[in-house]
Chains A and B, each alone.
Chain A
């Protein structure tokens, strides 16, 4: 009987296999479908509520702002042209006549005014977490603050008529045209007023980009199809974009191998660490790992003894072998960081990092040991107390252990490493309840300011307790002038104060965005911060 059962099972398995082989063919060739993994369900597809990369990856296909990015340049989007006042504080955007929503309605200046004010409404339901991305606009922050007395009419965005949108800014912001391509600046259709849950289902979803939302199987998959109302619809070759939500990197790897997805890895997927190292070593032609404008660093509690001493902080920073760290531990083609602003961020004419020297300190174990002794003596201590490096789950553990080893070897100190649950970790970091902790920061927009203004005294993301009047002055200078050269100079000086003079944080490496893409997939662009634009992609026959 057992034997018969086995036969039966084998027969069933074989039959199913044959059937499934007939039914579903991954098929590249003429099928213009691009498939990739999001890893998780997007928390939202409402431009006002987005704050994560999974959602924004889907949004890239669905929406278009006043401007958009093409090959690293900001080009006209919903606005065909714009005028900027001499003081750099007033922008007038001219919306193109053929701009349409996916339901055929025209996109007007009023839509933008409505959308931005909706995002800034302090009692929006729920309130927009990224509302502060709009704070460049005059009175935006005040209106977003309840009981500030500032009314909605005072916010600096106004539709003069259907095609002209006037935007007034708090300060001249040279990168404002880059910001208008960012998802918080995307418009929403006015019908969302009547249907507050519009963004949760495909049936009620209206967008203005190259694609429209065909289906959203929650937690399973999302399909986009081209919008027949998009003004550049002739540029769109894909017939479908299929997103899956696979958590497990090994499953993602299997799906890439079998051709169930065409893209694996960042920005929204993951290549298993061991495989990535192997692909890099083998120079796998489907793999690339471009630099991404993000920095991996350690925050040091500047308010706690002995880390309040700059020599101690310098000693720690100088006794880490970053080359060994990226090559032997992280293994994703990253580059060692000796400054904070990563490559890929714009300077005056070229890359910020090309214009401003990025070697703000040197690794030197002997000098480090000397500095440590001096620093401890200044604090009235004879030996370095045992301290803790904390981090959240992931590869951070291996990184911390490697660094703890280097510190032990080079400085003769003992370090404890501690994995902390994500939200507890964040809470500890924000409330300065740590010694040294892992941190990472990526660009929100293409300007050095996105990395520097966070270290202002009392800043919301200043998780180290750094206070420096000179630094604050330079940041203020850079954010109130429109002359790019002056700005870059001020930012360069500020960065030097932060790293070279104070070592308020310990830079470790600049991120890369390793990903695999099938050879028949063409025309996908990855930008300076590792986001991808698949809207102009196509499948080669």
Chain B
């Protein structure tokens, strides 16, 4: 297990290094710079800025300086938001995205599994068909459409909620719906199809024949195996949701991380581009890492294949 974790960690660090290098050079290769505006600044001012940010130095030197700062965990100052450090900006906005994201994830998992389970238990009955209709719609309707519609009706027309912001608990309701409908639909479909497969498997039939109660079978035997694909979906989904959705955050005016993905690039805020990219990648890799561990814990077969594994198989 330790060797497994160690290898994964080394992998993550190496990947981040490669990503940092690639992003750095790609970002510098696109035309434009942070100082360009509709109104050009005079050359004198421009040169002062270029010198201050070290853009007059050779590219490799700029890269080494950046890398050195990065190793010391210094992401630098934003070039657009004056006097604000990149780590402050990320920490602050991540707090918003994380809060909202966690709520959306919990809702997605609970509702998604519940809907999928019910659909599987009532296979080919009306309730199953309704659930799958909902799931299809959930996947088909883009969240900017859904977000706009629910905002218009529930905030503007009926005034149940504030239009924008994340100040009260009630402010979570609309963005959570907008964020979680797609994952709910996905999880519901995944759960339903694997559950259908599992429920017709031999060992379930054996358990039934032994006279074990159906609820016990469902929870102890079927659900455990039925959830494996869901777990592998939940990992990357978590990373995606907690790092903020550009669309949902924009519609509901949430000061999250999402907007910075595009904004930092269009402003050519180099330090922020790097910071956001690395942060997002780190979160994504960490989520995958957790997924691997969760997989190893739930599915004993995984452990058998790892040489350093073994030991106590859970359950």
Contact = CB atoms under 8 A, between A and B. Distances in A.
Interface of A: 1-2, 5, 13, 16-17, 19-21, 23-24, 41, 43-44, 46, 49, 51, 122-123, 125-132, 135, 141, 144-146, 196-200, 217-221, 244-248, 250-251, 254-255, 257-258, 260, 421-424, 426-428, 430, 440-441, 460-461, 463
25 contacts: A13-B173, A17-B160, A17-B161, A21-B159, A43-B82, A125-B52, A127-B52, A129-B35, A131-B45, A144-B45, A218-B89, A218-B93, A218-B255, A244-B164, A245-B255, A251-B164, A251-B251, A254-B155, A254-B163, A255-B164, A257-B156, A260-B162, A260-B163, A423-B268, A460-B41
Interface string B149-166: 001100110111111110
The winner among B32, B35, B83, B93 for most chain A CB atoms within 10 A is: B83
A129 B298 CA distance: 58
A146 B50 CA distance: 13
Given A24-B162, A246-B164, A260-B162, A219 B255 contact: yes
Contact of B170 (A20, A49, A260): A20
B164 A260 contact: yes
A220 B164 CA distance: 10
Nearest to A439: B38
Contact of B41 (A43, A125, A129, A258): A129
Given A144-B44, A254-B152, A424-B30, A247 B49 contact: no
Contacts of A130: 41, 45
Nearest to A18: B160
B49 A129 contact: yes
Interface string B129-163: 00100000000000000001001100110111111
A24 B155 CA distance: 13
A47 B33 CA distance: 22
A193 B10 CA distance: 44
Contacts of A146: 47-48, 51
The winner among A19, A49, A125, A145 for most chain B CB atoms within 10 A is: A145
A5 B161 CA distance: 21
B250 A461 contact: no
Nearest to B77: A126
Contact of B49 (A126, A423, A426): A126
A196 B48 contact: no
A460 B250 contact: no
B33 A423 contact: yes
A217 to B, nearest CB: 7
Nearest to A421: B266
B163 A258 contact: yes
Contacts of B96: 220
B253 A247 contact: yes
A191 B150 CA distance: 49
A2 B118 contact: yes
Contacts of A127: 45, 48-49, 52
Contacts of A250: 148, 151, 251
B40 interface: yes
A257 to B, nearest CB: 6
Contact of A132 (B42, B152, B164, B266): B42
B115 to A, nearest CB: 8
A218 B169 CA distance: 20
B24 interface: no
B165 A244 contact: yes
A1 B92 CA distance: 40
Contact of A218 (B42, B84, B259): B84
The winner among A123, A125, A200 for most chain B CB atoms within 10 A is: A200
A200 B82 contact: yes
> Ordered nearest first, which 10 A-B pairs have the shortest CB separation?
A423-B32, A44-B82, A127-B48, A219-B255, A17-B160, A200-B83, A220-B255, A20-B170, A246-B253, A197-B83
Given A17-B161, A197-B83, A218-B92, A426 B32 contact: yes
A40 to B, nearest CB: 8
B160 A1 contact: no
B36 interface: yes
A20 B148 CA distance: 20
Interface in B255-287: 255, 259, 266, 268
A479 to B, nearest CB: 15
B156 A199 contact: no
A43 B162 CA distance: 27
B267 to A, nearest CB: 8
A424 B32 contact: yes
Contacts, number: 173
Contacts of A245: 253, 255
A146 B46 CA distance: 12
A51 B35 CA distance: 11
Nearest to B268: A423
A427 B44 contact: no
A126 B89 contact: no
A426 B36 contact: yes
B40 A132 contact: no
A5 B82 CA distance: 49
B107 to A, nearest CB: 10
B160 A13 contact: yes
Nearest to A219: B255
Contacts of B36: 423, 426-427, 430
Nearest to B127: A2
A248 B251 contact: yes
Interface in B190-209: none
A423 B38 contact: no
A129 B45 contact: yes
B211 interface: no
Contacts of A125: 52
A13 B152 CA distance: 16
Given A132-B41, A258-B156, 15 more contacts: A17-B158, A19-B170, A20-B162, A49-B82, A130-B45, A144-B48, A145-B44, A218-B81, A218-B89, A244-B164, A250-B251, A251-B250, A254-B152, A258-B155, A461-B40
Contacts of B253: 244-248, 251, 255
A128 B45 contact: yes
Nearest to A14: B160
Given A145-B44, A254-B156, A123 B31 contact: no
B39 interface: yes
Contacts of B114: 5
Given A129-B45, A132-B41, A427-B32, A219 B93 contact: yes
A16 to B, nearest CB: 5
Nearest to A135: B42
Given A24-B168, A254-B155, A427-B31, A141 B162 contact: no
Contacts of B45: 127-132, 144
A61 B309 CA distance: 65
B80 interface: yes
A423 B31 contact: yes
B148 A461 contact: no
A17 B43 CA distance: 57
B8 to A, nearest CB: 34
A260 B250 CA distance: 17
Nearest to A199: B83
Contact of A43 (B43, B81, B268): B81
Contacts of B40: 430, 460-461, 463
A434 to B, nearest CB: 13
Contacts of B82: 43-44, 46, 49, 126, 199-200
A480 B138 CA distance: 68
Contacts of B81: 41, 43-44, 200, 218
Given A251-B163, A427-B32, A123 B255 contact: no
A85 B38 CA distance: 36
B266 A422 contact: yes
